A and B are shown apart, each in its own frame.
Chain A
């Protein structure tokens, strides 16, 4: 189990999700648990609650998981996936209001230094226009 916050990337496109994850991996190596998913249950563009739940499992850390999303459905489906998690995980998974690529890189960089989930989220969200 990692001592760092995990990062999950949820895009409508598998290519965007994988590409973002590649960039994160290059920045922070294997210091941070990382998972990504993209595409709808039929393999087209979209997002998928089951895939998001699997990604959360893959990136799970006792310090929590920060999710980066692209467009509306990715956020709604991520929130649904969080609600379907077991009680002991509730409160330990957040969706960051940040641009997906820059947010994922910033969040992972912060997480790699051992930051808390709240610190990771705050750093990612510094990128958002207020």
Chain B
């Protein structure tokens, strides 16, 4: 990736590396995600995210060949169709919204604006908000780190840790009430993994 007049050119090779790194990172951590989900959910988050990531990897060449917005939309649709569980529509909505909002060569301002739209779409899809022990508790701090010039990867990891003392209000974990306190939210963890992988590739390429 190179920045020309502050526009990011995400070429095919970078797109391929982004997609492959994110998908493999999720697959490598699938057991951990499932263990987190067994504590406060229904224990399928790792299985579901692995299935979605494998579907994305299976079409790696086709996805990387598409311009950035189309690639993101196609990834979102693959996740909607293949992941199952609530995380399919949630991550699907996230990537499809990014694809609709981003131009092929985005500026930092475009990225932040697209991130904002994606967060709003995930909030609507999950009928949830920041502070309810969900993936939003990672997406929002990561967006703020991006906008503030901070370390996005670290912000995402710390934000996932910060879901441990939270009480779940949405999703299956909300059935547990106070017993959801003391466990990291699996969706927050998967979001931190995905954001961390993206930040790594972008950091190497820039």
**A interface residues, Cβ below 8 angstroms from B:** 12, 40-42, 44-50, 71-73, 76-77, 79-80, 84
Complex CA–CA separation, A45 to B172 (angstroms): 14
**B interface residues, Cβ below 8 angstroms from A:** 42, 44, 47-48, 51, 80-90, 92-93, 125-126, 170-172
- Whether A49 pairs with B85 at a CB distance below 8 angstroms is no
Complex CA–CA separation, A121 to B14 (angstroms): 49
* Residues on A with beta carbons closer than 8 Å to the beta carbon of B84: 40-42, 46-48, 73, 77
Smallest CB-CB separation from B171: which chain A residue?
A72
Q: Please judge, given known A-B contacts A40-B84, A47-B85, A72-B86, whether A80 and B51 are in contact too, CB under 8 Å.
A: no
- Whether A73 pairs with B85 at a CB distance below 8 angstroms is yes
The A contact surface, by secondary structure, is loop
Complex CA–CA separation, A40 to B49 (angstroms): 12
Output the least CB separation between A54 and chain B (Å): 12
Q: What are 7 A-B contacts defined by CB distance under 8 Å?
A: A41-B51, A41-B84, A42-B47, A46-B44, A48-B84, A49-B81, A80-B92
- Whether B125 pairs with A77 at a CB distance below 8 angstroms is no
Complex CA–CA separation, A125 to B48 (angstroms): 30
* Residues on B with beta carbons closer than 8 Å to the beta carbon of A73: 84-88
Complex CA–CA separation, A73 to B171 (angstroms): 8
Among A45, A49, A50, which residue has its beta carbon within 8 angstroms of that of B44?
A45
* Residues on A with beta carbons closer than 8 Å to the beta carbon of B86: 72-73, 76-77
* Residues on A with beta carbons closer than 8 Å to the beta carbon of B172: 71-72
Complex CA–CA separation, A47 to B88 (angstroms): 10
Q: Please judge, given known A-B contacts A47-B85, A49-B80, A49-B81, whether A76 and B126 are in contact too, CB under 8 Å.
A: yes
Q: Please judge, given known A-B contacts A41-B51, A45-B44, A49-B80, whether A80 and B93 are in contact too, CB under 8 Å.
A: yes
Complex CA–CA separation, A77 to B82 (angstroms): 11
* Residues on A with beta carbons closer than 8 Å to the beta carbon of B48: 40, 46
Complex CA–CA separation, A41 to B84 (angstroms): 6
Complex CA–CA separation, A56 to B88 (angstroms): 19
* Residues on B with beta carbons closer than 8 Å to the beta carbon of A50: 81
